[in-house]
Amino acid sequence: MASRSIFVGGTSSHAGKSWMCTAICAWLKRNGVRVAPFKAQNMSNNSFPCLNGGEIGRAQVAQAYACGLEPETDMNPILLKPTSPTGSQVVVNGKVWKTLPARAYYEHFDQLLRVVLDAYERLSRRFDFIVIEGAGSVAELNLRQFDLVNFGLATRVGAPSLLVGDIERGGVFASILGSIALLEPSERALLRAFAVNKFRGDLQLFEEGRTILEARSGLPCLGVFPWVAERLVDDEDSLSVPPCASDPSGAAHAIVRFPRISNATDFRLIPDAAWVDRPVAHQFQVIFLPGTKNTIADLRWLKQHKLDLWLLNQAAQGTRIVGICGGYQMMGERVQDPDGVESAAQEEQGLGLLPIVTTLTREKTVRRVRGFTAEGAAVEGYEIHMGQSAATAPVPALFQLEGLGPEGSRLPGCIGTYLHGALECPEFLQTVLRIDPLPTPSREERHQKLAEWLEQYGPQFPQIFL
């Protein structure tokens, strides 16, 4: 028997779809429902390896855990990882398929739609309920013929639908009512309710607004959901990366905000940190170089903004430089891309902080790992990268990985590793970097809070959708 489902769409990107889906997953799991998440197509450079091989977006990983499940590639069969303003690496069923410009991507619609429907069908045979997350806005009229992630999917599987609007950015009346007005009759027929998300202040102040929206839309409001400062769900994409600080002089740590940053979730436990995209006249204790989807392009960006000289000057004055994945590659002597894996540029000189040379390769490393530092600090992380780095001179390893051996590079003032997630290990932060991590609730506590958030502010959920 096919499973039941709910489709959660948004009036825009960053309206809170991922948060809402995770809360629904946690609530259903707590109420004894065998539930799984699904997002047909995700555009994000924040990804995570599945144990069955391949990678999916971090949002679906969080939703899988909220369902009490191990993440798998069927939960996010298409992942677009932007490499430039007009092109993306296309990951299909967890594996790199092609790197395509947007126009060429849509030429494969029929093939990709079949991938999506097959993955959905496999999940629906195993679970009682599927929580489907949309992407961007549900009313992208110019893309309707190529829609396989919003109502283009919901109408094919007959999923009752919820529309989420973001009141924080303003225009919530126009965004909710306008989105509904632009739906086709078959899409409108699936819409069961709307939700007003990210409200700051006294919720009772929006009672009149809620009444107006219900009257004009003819739909019930599931709830007016408050802004929650606590980070209970992993950020899905770079839209969630904080803006660069206008005055970072009081911060102890800095994070360089690359244009093509990946896995920004690595830094969620770093306290007192400022994001920077220009040289700053302030001496930091640690500067972090994040991952990137295009190492050479972001390395050139670094040089264009004189951040390379700034980093070298900071290092000379005692600041520790820490590079993760692409940031690690930049810290070496040079980065080579002979096959044009990420860009047309074949080589770029690195910062020279570590004695390594990186060669980008077509074969992608995607795996979870565990290991230890020389101090005995345990780490759990994951690798997602196209390149391999080789030492040009003896350099101590940062980690000893179980079943894999030495990994990363470590000098007194410089550290580099391919391990995303290492900075999310409190013991590593405390022991190696001498940083006290931000407190964070356990996964189980986060899921409980999300379920309670839905139950408190959307009490009609069972009556409307179950």
Strand partners, 389: 358
Question: Which residue is it, tokens 């992993």?
Answer: 234
Task: Please report, for residues 7, 145, 147, the alpha-carbon distance to residue 153 in angstroms, rounded to integers and kept in the order given.
Answer: 9, 11, 7
| φ/ψ of residue 358, rounded to 5 | -110, 135
Catalytic residue among 50, 420, 425, 447: 420
Please say whether the beta carbons of 190 and 7 come within 8 A. Answer: yes
Query: What are the angstrom distances between the C-alpha of 279 and each of 227, 291, 301?
Result: 33, 19, 13
* Catalytic-residue membership of 21: no
Which listed residue (325, 414, 425, 447) is catalytic? 325
325 is catalytic: yes
State how far the Cα of 439 lies from the Cα of 368, in Å rounded to an integer. Answer: 24
- One-letter identity of residue 275: W
User: How far, CA to CA in Å, does 226 sit from each of 94, 196, 208, 220, 310?
Assistant: 35, 9, 16, 18, 41
SS3 sequence of the chain: CCCEEEEEEECCCCCCHHHHHHHHHHHHHHCCCCEEEECCEEECCCEEECCCCCEEEHHHHHHHHHCCCCCCHHHCCEEEEEEECCEEEEEECCEEEEEEEHHHHHCCHHHHHHHHHHHHHHHHHHCCEEEEECCCCCCCHHHHHHCCCCHHHHHHHCCCEEEEEECCCCCHHHHHHHHHHCCCHHHHCCEEEEEEEEECCCHHHHHHHHHHHHHHHCCCEEEEEECCCCCCCCCCCHHHCCCCCCCHHHCCEEEECCCCEECHHHHCCCCCEEEECCCCCCCCCEEEECEECCHHHHHHHHHHCCHHHHHHHHHHCCCEEEEECHHHHHCCCEEECCCCCCCCCCEEECCCCCCEEEEEEEEEEEEEEEEECCCCCEEEEEEEEEEEEEECCCCCCCEEECCCEEECEEECCEEEECCECHHHCHHHHHHCCCCCCCCCCCHHHHHHHHHHHHHHHCCCHHHHHC
What gap in Å lies between CA 302 and CA 352, rounded to an integer?
14
The residues that are catalytic are 325, 420
